[in-house]
Structure 1
Amino acid sequence: MTGRRRWTTDEILGTAAELLRTSDAESFSVRKLAAALGTDSSSLYRHFRNKTELLRAVADRTLEAAMDGYRPPDGWKERLTATALRLREAFGQHPQVAAIWGRYGSGGPGSRLVMEEVLQALRASGLPDEEIPARYHRVVILVTALIASEAGVGALLPEEYEQGMEQFRVAVLGADPDRFPALSHFAREIRPLGVDRRAAFDEIIAAHLAQIEIAIP
């Protein structure tokens, strides 16, 4: 009798990532993943102790993919910017996984690759060693927040996005000028959150790195 196929950890994570393209962390389950693989849940628990550990591993796999083939550019600001953009691109292809990363974090090899590069870049900036951990923490929080926020928009279905845009137009263009004078004044220039996010991402990262540069002795 033919035995049940043994799935590798990478195959399991790849299938989980594909399932998460169409579902969020709440609706995702080990049982659904097992069904997609044609196996039972117990076989997956040999690889991961629980759903949270599995989701962390999926996020970490995305971090590894982002850093695959990475070569640090010259300049500490360029290194941090390049790392942030690689993470943005990788998670942009998996918006639901980006939300998971923002919620659960990761402690696997992909996470260590990112941590090492950010710390190396900050050391190259000339900051004193005693300041680097705090600066590292702020950089990571900023990048994670920006990517997770953008992922929230990217995970919307087209009809959900259009519905949100229509609500935005009604709320802004229809604002009572007596009650909301500033909003009425800028109504035609205010842009929805889902618009031009790449430019905003670049500007926010650049502004934060400029603040770090000021602190360098």
Structure 2
Amino acid sequence: MTGRRRWSTEEILDGAAELLRTGDAESFSVRRLAAALGTDSSSLYRHFRNKTELLRAVADRILLAAMDGHRPEGDWRQRVTALALRLREAFGEQPQLAAVWGRYASGGTGSRLVMEELLQALRAAGLPDAEVPLRYHRTVVLIASLISAEAGLGSITSEEYAQATEQFRVAVLGADPERFPTLAHFARDVRPLGADRRAAFEDLLAAHLDRIESRIP
């Protein structure tokens, strides 16, 4: 009698990533993943102790891919900005996984590579060592929040986005000028939430880095 197939750790992570592309972390379960792979949950628990550990490993693979081939260049601000944009691009290709990273974090090699580069860049800025951990934490929270927020838009279909954009246009251009005078005034220039996401990302990050720069002795 042929035994049940043994799945490798990488194959399990591939299956989990694929399942998360069509769902989310809330609906994800080890049992559902096992069913998708044609096996039982116990075989997956040989690789991962629980759902959280599995999700962290999935998120870490994205970080690891983002850091693959990365070479720090420029001053500290350029390094932080380049890192943030690499992470944005990596999660932009798999937006459902951005929420996984924001919620479950990661303790794997990918996470450590991101932490090392960000801490190095902040230290190179000239911040006192006592201040580097705080600025690191606030920077990574900002980056993760922006990426997670943007991922929500990236996960909808083009038809859904077009419908939402049309609803936005009707709501803004059709605003009653007596009740919403300022909105009516700027109606033709206000952009929907999904517009110019990269520019907004860079502006918010730059403002945060300006604040860090003001803390440099």
Kindly report which structure 2 residues correspond to 1:104-119, keeping only aligned pairs within 5 A, or say none.
104-119=104-119
Paired amino acid for 1:31: R
2:46 aligns with 46
The residue that corresponds to 2:132 in the other structure is 132
* Structure 1 residues 34-77: Cα deviation after superposition (integer angstroms, max 9, x where no partner): 12222111111111222222112111111111111111112111
Deviation at 1:160, TM superposition (A): 2.3
- The residue aligned with 1:167 is 167
Moved more, 63-72 or 167-176: 167-176
> Post-superposition shift, 1:3?
2.4
Q: What is the root-mean-square deviation in Å for CA atoms of aligned residues?
A: 1.4
Aligned length: 217
* 1:44-193 matched pairs, under 5 angstroms: 44-193=44-193
CA distance in 2, matches of 1:101, 1:27: 16
Unaligned 5+ runs, structure 1 = none
| Matching residue's letter, 1:98 | A
Which has the larger displacement, 105-114 or 135-144?
A: 105-114
Q: 1:199 is matched by which residue type in structure 2?
A: A
Runs of 4+ more than 4 Å apart: none
Q: 5+ residue gaps in structure 2?
A: none
Question: What SS does the aligned partner of 2:111 have?
Answer: helix
Give aligned-pair identity as a percent. Answer: 74
Which deviates the most, 170-179 or 122-131? 170-179
Say whether 1:201 aligns with 2:170: no
1:30 maps to which residue?
A: 30
* 3-state SS of 1:20 partner: helix
**Shift of the alpha carbon at 1:200?**
1.2
TM-score by length of 2: 0.94
Alpha-carbon distance in 1 for matches of 2:30, 2:130: 43
CA distance in 2, matches of 1:94, 1:18: 9
